Structure 1
Amino acid sequence: MRLTGWGRKPVVEAEVFAPYSIPDLRSRFPRARFRGIPRGNGRSYGDSALAPQVLSSRRLDRFLAFDAEAGVLRCEAGVLLADILEVFVPRGWFPHATPGTRLITVGGAIASDVHGKSHHLEGCFSRHVERFSLMLADGRVVECSRTQHADLFRATCGGMGLTGFILEASLRLKSIESAYLRETTFKAENLDHALSLFSEHAGAPYSVAWIDCLATGPRLGRSLLMTGDFIDDGRLQGTVKKPLSVPVDVPGFVLNRYSVAAFNALYYHRVRTARRERIVHFEPFFYPLDGIGHWNRIYGKSGFTQYQFVIPKASGAAGITAVLRRIAASRRGSFLAVLKAFGPANDNPLSFPMEGYTLALDFKLEPGLLPFLEELDRVVLEHGGRLYLTKDARMSGATFRAGYPGWEEFQDVRRKYGADAVFRSLQSERLGL
């Protein structure tokens, strides 16, 4: 089967194992001579879930138990966040941490230790995971939590599937009184203004900014900062518009510096006042791109890569300014540019966030892009930052090791449990793991 990540490059021919149940998997795996990587719904952008052999969790999609008093859900690893939202939002429950798409599996969310608009207050996905069962390289299944096999728990949360195969997990949900939020949009004139708004509204439960990465001079980093908070009107049932879809690959010439610059200007000026407030359903607030089916086709057949980095708070303004200046000078604009503020880092060796600011940018794959991104890598490292493994498709091993000082601890855990001989991806081999 031909497989790609969400960025559509690279492409691999893979042998896919897709067990129907946990007993089915446990009975077959020790005899399968598997050498590859677990895979959820294929929404990581690069090559982290690609290998000649892939172990899919998508048929392991059952809810197993729910404690309504504690808000703890136990489910199989192939359950989508979309499944959880469909069932539990009408009952008054919502994930503590959710990324910008609901089309990922619980296992994938743990393996990427995903974050969202609430990281500054609620941390990563793993903070709200109580335990999970993990199938090791030799077929044994162990319980992992902060007190049982704690080394495996920490290494698996953010470990990109390289420690074993997550079978099922228990995670805490948060109580909500409505499916709607109060969204407040603030218009920032430049990057300094945007960062000051993040600081001013640090108590908002959710915050995120769209940023114009082609603006220059005194407008460099002009942004729209959106904060949100669930309201309590009791409307737990809600409807949104049916998603649109991109039916075919968009021709490559359509997405260029002129069209991106025009889009950015229109998007920034669509908000006409310094502050705008409205009530919105949770779906367009948290998952705007899920409203456009196959949106990755916008970048054409050549595919795209998302470049996401984090820089510590102390050097955040200088580092992001340096990156934005290089992007504007290169005229390689991204119309999907998202800025967020992170809270403190956790102690998982490969978890991405650290206290500071993260910027995510989409770039169409085209000649000259990779050397340009290597230039950005140097800027990020010079300012004490690192790149997000879930979005990565081209980082060097040296850049990875410089950004993730816990990589040796992670490798020690892999060797201890024999995972290094079995679980591997194109990404892990590229990074020297």
Structure 2
Amino acid sequence: MPVKATVWRPASLEQLQQLVYQARQGSLIARGLGRSYGDAAQCAEGNVIDLGGFDRIELDPVQGTVTAGGGVSLASVLRVIVPAGFFLPVTPGTRNVTVGGAIAADVHGKNHHVEGSFASHVRQLQLVDGNGEMRTLQPDGEAEAADAFWATAGGMGLTGAITEATFTLLPIRTSLISVDTDRHGTLDSLMAAMVEGDARYRYSVAWVDSLHPRGRGVLTRGDHTSLEQLQEQASAQMADPLAYDPRALASAPAFLPGGLLNTWTVRAFNETWFRKAPAHRIGELQAIGPFFHPLDGVADWNRIYGPAGFLQYQFAVPDEAAELVPRVLEALRGIGAPSFLTVLKRFGSANAGPLSFPGPGWTLAADVPAAVPGLFELLDRLDEQVAASGGRLYLAKDSRQSAAMFQRSYPGLDDWRRQRTRLDPRSVFSSDLARRIGL
């Protein structure tokens, strides 16, 4: 839901500090590129800070690190680091998020089961706290600074404004991904293959046919292509192994009728998508964009949902509650809620962030048209099952969970609140999300 707020774009650190120092209680939130699906970066009748002016990027190829401003997009970082032989340690499903936003949401990617979430690779960050003071936070520093770091990582911008961060990079020899693809006729087969491949693949993700009664899907797994693999396949990219030039390939129409996405059209799409995928293919070379950020290749892709829009339901549950994955899909089918973009991933170990989303087990994300009758009532019931299983919802994607659901499913909340009070004693930083769920 749109809200009214005053947007500020400080041109210097001093201007940002003054803005925070003069702010009243609950009146500020920083905003990146607006890719959260809910109200995390909204502050109704308050002030939103656009950190686009904090755009420094400095690569240290010797240390294998980059220092980037909080307002720098991952897209901009990639344009610097990939031609130099490096890749992001973790990338979400879009490159159009800022470094500050990636830390505040502690984003995850296709490699969480191997390398954790984004904050696990941050060596240091600069934070303007609720008093307008600059703090340097490190995850392995002295206890007070480390606790503040982990409260900020996943803290949804509520501990202060992240102005800069230094994080480690992954060395690569080419800008291609060597991808193995397998079709699975049942969800059981798909999930078993994902578990079996945890130790063998750096990247793993599955598309699930949400409308199919057996939950069939397509599993894609891979790693960065070596120079030897490039030579073996006689790739034309041998002339420039680190070439990188992502771009949007198409644009969704400016207006689509609200009923375009329904059970029948999504079923037809899913059938085509499943049949189009190879039953088994090894070592296909794919560019970074199509493998990691497929929706970035279609400008304004959200228009396909029509004027009523959509919501994403993303939850994480431990391995022992894996049966909740097919149960949620069955429940969505039961009310005729079509999801043509349904993604299943594996999670590895959690980090020390009290509000960080990932923990060992499974995460399912389903994009559903918001106008489906009975959707919100169903999701409330599913929330109860997620919480009872020891799971939780992803704050960066949430737009409707209750305060009771949130407080029940994040057991580290009291520790986070203590750190938040220390970093922002005047409670200057707030958001519509924070007010909705009682943060």
Matched, 1:180 2:171: no
Separation in 2, partners of 1:338, 1:169: 29
Matched, 1:54 2:48: yes
Match of 2:6 in 1: 15
Contact 2:181 2:278 in 1 (8 A): no
Opposite residue 194 of structure 1, the aligned amino acid is L
Matched, 1:306 2:312: yes
Match of 2:123 in 1: 130
Opposite residue 140 of structure 1, the aligned amino acid is E
Contact 1:162 1:420 in 2 (8 A): no
Match of 1:208 in 2: 205
The 1:421–1:242 alpha-carbon spacing in structure 2 relative to 1, beyond 3 Å, is closer
Match of 2:66 in 1: 73
Match of 2:328 in 1: 323
Separation in 1, partners of 2:421, 2:154: 17
Alignment of structure 1 residues 29-428 onto 2, 5 Å: 29-33=20-24, 35-52=27-44, 53-63=47-57, 65-146=58-139, 147-148=141-142, 149-202=145-198, 203-216=200-213, 220-233=214-227, 235-239=241-245, 242-275=248-281, 277-316=283-322, 318-366=323-371, 367-419=373-425, 421-428=427-434
Opposite residue 177 of structure 1, the aligned amino acid is R
Secondary structure of the corresponding residue to residue 259 of structure 2:
helix
Q: 1:164-210 deviations in whole A, cap 9, x for unaligned?
A: 01111111111000000111111111111011111222120100000
Separation in 2, partners of 1:116, 1:396: 26
Q: 1:308-355 deviations in whole A, cap 9, x for unaligned?
A: 001101221x11121111112222120010000010111210000010
In the alignment, structure 1 segments of 5+ residues that lack a partner are 1-9
Separation in 1, partners of 2:174, 2:423: 44
Separation in 2, partners of 1:120, 1:413: 28
Contact 1:380 1:386 in 2 (8 A): yes
Match of 1:26 in 2: 17
Opposite residue 22 of structure 2, the aligned amino acid is R
Opposite residue 53 of structure 2, the aligned amino acid is R
C-alpha displacement of 1:133: 0.9
C-alpha displacement of 1:426: 0.6
Separation in 1, partners of 2:248, 2:298: 9
Contact 1:115 1:125 in 2 (8 A): yes
Separation in 2, partners of 1:176, 1:357: 28
Contact 1:322 1:379 in 2 (8 A): no
Q: 1:132-174 deviations in whole A, cap 9, x for unaligned?
A: 0111111111111121411110000000001001111111111
Opposite residue 405 of structure 1, the aligned amino acid is P
Separation in 1, partners of 2:208, 2:136: 42
C-alpha displacement of 1:21: 2.5
The 1:413–1:242 alpha-carbon spacing in structure 2 relative to 1, beyond 3 Å, is closer
Separation in 2, partners of 1:139, 1:280: 45
C-alpha displacement of 1:383: 2.1
Separation in 2, partners of 1:420, 1:260: 49
In the alignment, structure 2 segments of 5+ residues that lack a partner are 228-237
Q: Which moved more, 1:79-88 or 1:414-423?
A: 414-423
Separation in 2, partners of 1:238, 1:346: 31
Match of 1:6 in 2: none
Secondary structure of the corresponding residue to residue 365 of structure 2:
strand
Q: What is the percent sequence identity of the aligned residues?
A: 42
Separation in 2, partners of 1:353, 1:240: 28
Separation in 2, partners of 1:28, 1:239: 38
Runs of 4+ residues over 3 Å off in structure 1: 238-242, 274-277
Opposite residue 21 of structure 2, the aligned amino acid is P
C-alpha displacement of 1:131: 0.7
Separation in 1, partners of 2:188, 2:369: 28
Contact 2:160 2:424 in 1 (8 A): no
Contact 1:310 1:353 in 2 (8 A): yes
TM-score for both structures, normalised by structure 1: 0.94
C-alpha displacement of 1:420: 6.1
Opposite residue 340 of structure 2, the aligned amino acid is F
What's the Cα RMSD here? 1.5
Opposite residue 236 of structure 1, the aligned amino acid is L
Secondary structure of the corresponding residue to residue 91 of structure 1:
coil
C-alpha displacement of 1:277: 4.2
Opposite residue 184 of structure 1, the aligned amino acid is D
Q: Which moved more, 1:248-257 or 1:150-159?
A: 248-257
The 1:266–1:432 alpha-carbon spacing in structure 2 relative to 1, beyond 3 Å, is same
Contact 1:212 1:264 in 2 (8 A): yes
C-alpha displacement of 1:66: 2.6
Opposite residue 225 of structure 1, the aligned amino acid is L
Separation in 1, partners of 2:178, 2:278: 18
C-alpha displacement of 1:418: 2.7
